[in-house]
């Protein structure tokens, strides 16, 4: 029996993104929704998730508009530095650094 000595990279970026998205949705949504349903009830949970989805959607719309208006490399800190002040951009960058 002949064994391979090297591996071929056949996964594309979309495969890795879907694996990570499935992991995030699986752990975050399914593990915490039981507690949320217990505390807020079914209707309260649906309302809370809709409010959260509306907030995330509005932030993503704003980021999309900013990235079209200012197509620079970077994350939130670039926009904070440009439109607020450099100190705010620095604090946002440090916050992202400590988040990871």
Mind listing the pLDDT tens digit for each residue in 50-64? 999 899 899 888 888
Q: Do 62 and 77 lie in a common domain?
A: no
Q: Do 28 and 61 lie in a common domain?
A: yes
Domain assignment of residue 2, yes or no: no
Q: Which domain holds residue 23?
A: 13-69
Q: Do 64 and 90 lie in a common domain?
A: no
Q: Do 59 and 97 lie in a common domain?
A: no
Instruction: Evaluate whether 62 touches 83 at the Cβ level (below 8 Å).
Output: no
pTM: 0.58
Intra-chain end-to-end CA distance of the chain, in Å: 44
Does 3 score more than 60 pLDDT? Answer: no
Instruction: Look up residue 6 and give its DSSP letter.
Output: S
- Total domain count, the chain: 2
| Predicted pLDDT of residue 1 | 54
Mean pLDDT, rounded, for 75-86? 85
Domain assignment of residue 64, yes or no: yes
- What gap in Å lies between CA 23 and CA 16, rounded to an integer? 11
Mean pLDDT, rounded, for 36-45? 91
Q: Do 95 and 49 lie in a common domain?
A: no
Dihedral in degrees, nearest 10, Cα atoms 30, 31, 37, 39: -160
């Amino acid at each position: 029996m002949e064994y391979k000595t090297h591996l071929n990279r056949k996964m594309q970026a979309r495969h890795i993104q879907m694996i990570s998205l499935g992991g995030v949705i699986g752990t975050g949504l399914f593990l915490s929704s039981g507690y949320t349903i217990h505390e807020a009830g079914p209707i309260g949970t649906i309302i809370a998730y809709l409010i959260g989805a509306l907030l995330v959607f509005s932030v993503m719309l704003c980021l999309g508009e900013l990235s079209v208006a200012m197509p620079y490399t970077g994350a939130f800190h670039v926009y904070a530095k440009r439109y607020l002040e450099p100190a705010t951009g620095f604090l946002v960058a440090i916050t992202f650094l400590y988040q990871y």
